[in-house]
A = this chain, B = another copy of it.
C-alpha cells in the first residue's frame, strides 16, 4: 500500500508544473456517496487514492470516473459487427424501441405508486389532524394536536431518513445533480442501481408524508434514470440476477443513451412535460444531437406521460383524463396579459433571480457547515427529525396566531379547519399547511382573489423560505421544485394583491393567480437556472401557450440576475461535491493554454506485445484507467517488481522503477489505447500466450460484456507464478482501441475541450509531430478546482 502512495507523492514532488497525471486518483477529500456532504470524510484520506478504480465497491469508492462513451472499435468488436446478420441489426433496433416503451411504462408505474401512497396517507393524516384540532380547539388548547402533528411528521421522516443514511446515501436529495453528472459522462457510483431506486421511492414518499418542505418531482427524474439503466441491461447487481438478455447493450454508450430516455420519462411523469423532458435530457447529455436517440427519448416520455395519465385517471374514477403528470398547475382559464405588464413580470423575474441566488448561497453555506458538523449517520437522522418537528411547530404557530378567516364553501383544501374562526368559516392560514405542498401551490394559483390576508402570505413566505433552505440537504430524498414554486407563488400572489390594492382600477386584468404563476416561475428560475428546458416544462405544466412570452421573459430575467451572484443550485451542488462535470465552455483561465500545459505526464504505456508481469505491475502500481498502446520499439528490460505487498520504503528506488519502466515505452508511436477494465478481464480470463495463440478462437467480446459494469479488482486476479516468471505476453492488437483520439501537443485547450465534449471522450492522447506519446488528458485536467 505504501508504495502506491509514494508514487503519487513522488509525482507531485518531481513535477514543477503540477501537471501530474492524476486521472484516476480522484479529487482528494471527495466523498461521492453523499452528494451534499463532500468536503471531508474519514475515509477520504488524500494520500490513499489508489486501487479503487476497477474494484467493486467493497468499501466506498472515493472517486468519480468518466463513462466510456467512446465506442472501443477493437478487432473483437468489429468481428462481432461483421458476424451479425442484417436481421440482428433490425432486432437490436427494435429492442431499443421496446426498451424505451418499457422505460416509459415502468417510470410511470413507479410515479403512480409514489403518488397514490402519498395521497392516501396524507388524506388520513390531515383528516386525523383536523379532527384533533376541531376536538381540542374548543378548550383553546392546541398542544395535543400539535403533538400529534409533530409525531405524524416525525415518524415517516425518521423512517425515510434512516433508510437514506444507513442503506443508500446516494439516494439523498433530488437526484437531479447526480443524473446531470451521469448524463455529462461521469460515473457516479451506485447512482443507477435498483437498491437506490427502492430507497429513493420510499424516501420520497415518507418525506412528503412527513410534511418536509420538498416535492416528489425531482426524484422522479432520478427514478426514471435508474429504471432505464436497469431495464436496458437485463441484469441486476442488487438481486444478483443476470437474465442473459440484451447483452449487446452492455456498455457505457448504450446504457447512457437509455438513461437519457429514462430521465426524460421521469420529467414527463413528474410534470406531464414530454417535450420539456426530452429537452432536459438532451441539454444535459450535451453531445452530438442524434436524431434516432431524440425520437426514442421522446417516445419514452410520451409513453410515460400517457401511462401515468391512464393509471391516475383510472384511480380517480375515470372521470377525466387530465393527469398528464404528477404535478400540474391545474387548468388555468386563458391568461390574458397586457404589454405594460411585461416590465412588471421582468422586474419580478429579477426579484426571483436575487431571491433564488440568496437561497442558493444560504443553502450552500448550510450544507458546507453540515458537512463538517453533522457526520455520524445517527446525527443525520436526528437532524431530519428535528427539521420535521420544526416544520410542524411553525405551521402550528402560524395557524394559531393568524386569524385569517374565510367563509366555507369554496374550500381550497380537503380539510378546512375552523380553529378560532366563526362557524361556517375556515382558517386560511392553517389551510396552507393542512395539505401536501403540491396542493398548496395549486391553491395559490387558483384561489379567487382575496382568499388570503396579506399577513398570511408574508408570514408564510417568511417561514417557508428558510424552512425549505434548511430542508434541502438533509439526509432525505426530496426535490426542490415544489417548495421553490410555493415560495414564488406566495410572493407572486402577494405582489398581485398589492398591485390591486394600490391600483384598484387594475383589478380588471391583474389576477393574483397570474402573478402567483409569474412569481413561481421567477423563483424557480432564480434557484435552478435551467434554460430552454425549464421554459418548456413550465409551459407544458401550465398548459397555456398564450402565456409563453411572460414566462420566458420572467425566466430570462431571473436567470440573468441570478447568474450575477452565483450559479444554479444543481451546479453549485455538483461543484461542491467535486464531481468532474464538464461545463459548457472551457474555464477562462484555460483559454490561452495549449495541450502541453494541461496534459498529465509521464504516461504509462504498454507495447503491443506486453509481458503479463508488466501488465499486472502497472495495474497494481498506478491508478490510470487508460494506457496508450505503442509500437514495439527498443526492448527494455522490465525491472522485477517483486511481491505486491512488498513494503519497500526506498522512495528513490520506486521512482527509478517508475521512470525506467514507463520512460522506455514513451518513445513508441501510439497505435491504440487499452483500458484498465480490458486489461483486468484479459488477465482474469488468461488471454495471454507464450508462443501459440491457442485462445484466439475462444476470445470474443462477450467476455468483456459479461464483466460489465463491475470489473474485478486487480487484487482479485490470480495469475499463477509460472505465467508471471515465464515469457507470457498479451497481444494487445485485438483488444485495444485501434483509433484513439489524439492531438498534437500545441493544440489549444478550447479546441481540445470542444473535441472532448462533443465526442464524450474519456482519454485524449497528446502526441508529438512524430506521433509519440507526450501526455494524456482526461476530464479532470479541464477543471481547475479539482
A interface residues with partner B (beta carbon < 8 Å): 71, 73, 78, 81-82, 274-275, 278, 282-283, 286-292, 294-295, 298-299, 302, 305-306, 309-310, 321-322, 324, 338-339, 531-532, 535-536, 539-540, 542-546, 548-549, 552-553, 556, 584-585, 591-592, 631, 669-671, 738-739, 741, 743-744, 746-748, 751, 754-755, 757-759, 767, 769-771
Asked if A746 and B757 sit within 8 Å, CB to CB, the answer is no
- Is A546's CB under 8 angstroms from B289's CB? no
Which residues from chain B contact A289 at a C-beta distance below 8 Å? 282-283, 286-287, 289
Kindly report which residue of chain B lies nearest to residue A289, judged by CB atoms: B286
Q: Chain B residues near A543 (CB, 8 Å)?
A: 545-546
B747 touches A275 (CB 8 A): no
Residue of B306, B739, B758 touching A748 (CB-CB under 8 A):
B739
CA distance A543 to B544 in the complex (A): 7
> A531's contact among B295, B542, B757, by CB below 8 Å, is which?
B295
Counting chain B CB atoms within 10 Å of each CB, the highest count among A302, A542, A671, A739 belongs to A739
- When distances are taken between beta carbons in the complex, the residues of chain B under 8 Å from A542 are 545
Evaluate contact between B631 and A769: CB separation under 8 angstroms.
yes
> Contact at B751–A73, with CB atoms within 8 Å?
yes
Chain A to chain B contacts (Cβ below 8 Å), 16 pairs: A81-B591, A275-B536, A278-B532, A290-B584, A292-B585, A295-B531, A299-B556, A309-B549, A321-B338, A631-B769, A739-B744, A755-B759, A758-B758, A767-B771, A770-B770, A770-B771
Chain B residues contacting A548 (CB-CB under 8 Å) are: 274-275, 540
Write out the residue numbers on chain B whose beta carbons fall within 8 Å of the beta carbon of A748. 73, 78, 739
Contacts of A591 in B (CB 8 A): 81
A739-B743, A767-B771 are known; give 12 further A-B pairs, CB within 8 A: A73-B751, A275-B535, A283-B291, A286-B288, A287-B289, A292-B585, A540-B545, A544-B545, A738-B747, A739-B744, A739-B751, A755-B759
- Give the copy number: 2
Cα–Cα, bound, A670→B544 (Å): 57
Task: Compute how far the CA of A179 lies from the CA of B290 in the bound complex, rounded to whole angstroms.
Answer: 19
Nearest residue in B to A71 (C-beta to C-beta)? Answer: B751
Please, which residue of chain B has its CB at the minimum distance from the CB of A583?
B291
In angstroms, Cα B274 to Cα A291, docked, is: 21
Contact B584 A291 (CB under 8 A): yes
Of B78, B584, B743, the contact of A292 (CB 8 Å cutoff): B584
Residues of B within 8 A of A278 (CB): 532
Q: Is the CB of A545 within 8 A of B556?
A: no
Q: Which 3 A-B pairs have the closest CB atoms?
A: A739-B747, A758-B758, A288-B758
Once the chains bind, are B275 and A539 in contact (CB under 8 Å)? yes
What residues on B are CB-neighbors of A78 within 8 Å?
A: 748
The answer for the CA separation of A739 and B742 in the assembled complex, in Å, is 11
Tell me whether B288 and A669 are in contact (CB under 8 A): no
User: What's the Cα separation between A28 and B743 when bound, in Å?
Assistant: 36
Task: Quote the shortest CB–CB distance from A743 to chain B (angstroms).
Answer: 6
Residues of B within 8 A of A592 (CB): 81-82
**Contact of A302 with B738 in the complex, beta carbons under 8 Å:** no
Q: Which B residues lie within 8 Å of A671 (CB)?
A: 744, 769
Q: Chain B residues near A769 (CB, 8 Å)?
A: 631, 669-671, 771
Contacts of A556 in B (CB 8 A): 299
A340 to B680 Cα, complex, angstroms: 55
Q: Give the nearest-CB partner of A339 in chain B.
A: B321
Q: Nearest B residue to A70 by beta-carbon distance?
A: B751
Please report the C-alpha to C-alpha distance between residue A543 and residue B332 in the assembled complex, in whole angstroms: 13
Chain B residues near A283 (CB, 8 Å)?
Answer: 289, 291, 294
A585–B89 CA distance with the chains assembled, in angstroms: 14
Report the minimal beta-carbon distance from A349 to chain B, rounded to whole angstroms: 13
CA distance in complex: A741, B532 (Å): 32
Q: Determine if B770 and A759 form an interchain contact, defined as CB atoms under 8 angstroms apart.
A: no
Contact A294 B739 (CB under 8 A): no
Q: Is the CB of A669 within 8 A of B770?
A: yes
Cβ distance A29 to chain B, nearest Cβ, rounded Å:
29
A106 CA to B122 CA in the complex, in Å?
Answer: 54
Residues of B within 8 A of A544 (CB): 545
B757 touches A552 (CB 8 A): no
Of listed A339, A532, A671, residue having the most chain B CB within 10 A = A532
Q: Quick one: closest B residue to A310, CB to CB?
A: B339
Q: Let me know if A288 and B288 touch, CB within 8 A.
A: yes
What is the bound-complex CA distance between A592 and B86, given in angstroms?
13
Q: How far is the CA of A531 from the CA of B298 in the complex (A)?
A: 10
A295 contact set on B, CB distance < 8 A: 531-532
Q: Which residues of B contact A669 (CB under 8 A)?
A: 769-770
* CB-based contact A288/B757 at 8 Å: yes
Q: How far is the CA of A338 from the CA of B319 in the complex (A)?
A: 11
Chain B residues with CB below 8 A from A584, complex form: 290-292
Closest to A767 in B: B771
CB neighbours (8 Å) of A306 from chain B are: 549
Please tell me which one of the listed residues B286, B288, B532, B539 contacts residue A754 in the complex, with CB atoms under 8 A apart: B288
Residues from chain B with Cβ under 8 Å of A744 in the complex: 671, 738-739
Q: B532 touching A275 by the CB < 8 A rule?
A: yes
**A295 nearest in chain B by CB position:** B531
Query: Shortest distance in angstroms between A261's beta carbon and chain B's nearest beta carbon?
Result: 14
- Assembly CA distance A536 to B631 (angstroms): 53
Rounded to whole angstroms, the CA-CA distance of A739 and B553 in the bound complex is 41
Q: How far is the CA of A302 from the CA of B290 in the complex (A)?
A: 26
Across the interface, A549 reaches (CB within 8 A) one of B305, B670, B746, namely B305
Query: Complex: how many Å from CA A325 to CA B211?
Result: 45
**Chain B residues in 8 Å Cβ range of A540:** 545, 548
- A754 to B73 Cα, complex, angstroms: 13
Q: Across the two chains, which residue of chain B brings its CB closest to A543?
A: B545
* A322 with B546, Cβ < 8 A, contacts A282-B289, A289-B283, A770-B771 known: yes
How far, in whole Å, are A785 and B25 apart by their CA atoms in the complex? 49
The CA-CA distance from A76 to B290 in the complex, in Å, is 35
Measured between beta carbons, the chain B residues less than 8 angstroms from A670 are 769
Chain B residue numbers with a CB within 8 Å of A299 are: 556
A302 touches B552 (CB 8 A): yes
- Complex contact A545–B546 (CB within 8 A): no
A505 to chain B, nearest CB (A): 19
Residues of B within 8 A of A81 (CB): 591-592
In the complex, what residues of B have CB within 8 A of residue A298's CB?
A: 531-532, 535, 552
When C-beta atoms are compared, the residue in chain B nearest to A285 turns out to be B289
Across the interface, name the chain B residue whose C-beta is closest to A302. B552
Is the pair A532, B294 in contact by a Cβ cutoff of 8 Å? yes
Pairwise interchain contact A531-B294, C-beta atoms closer than 8 A: yes
A291 near B531 with CB under 8 A, answer yes
Report the separation of the CA atoms of residues A287 and B549 in the bound assembly, to the nearest whole angstrom: 27
* Residue in B closest to A86 when the chains form the complex, CB atoms: B588
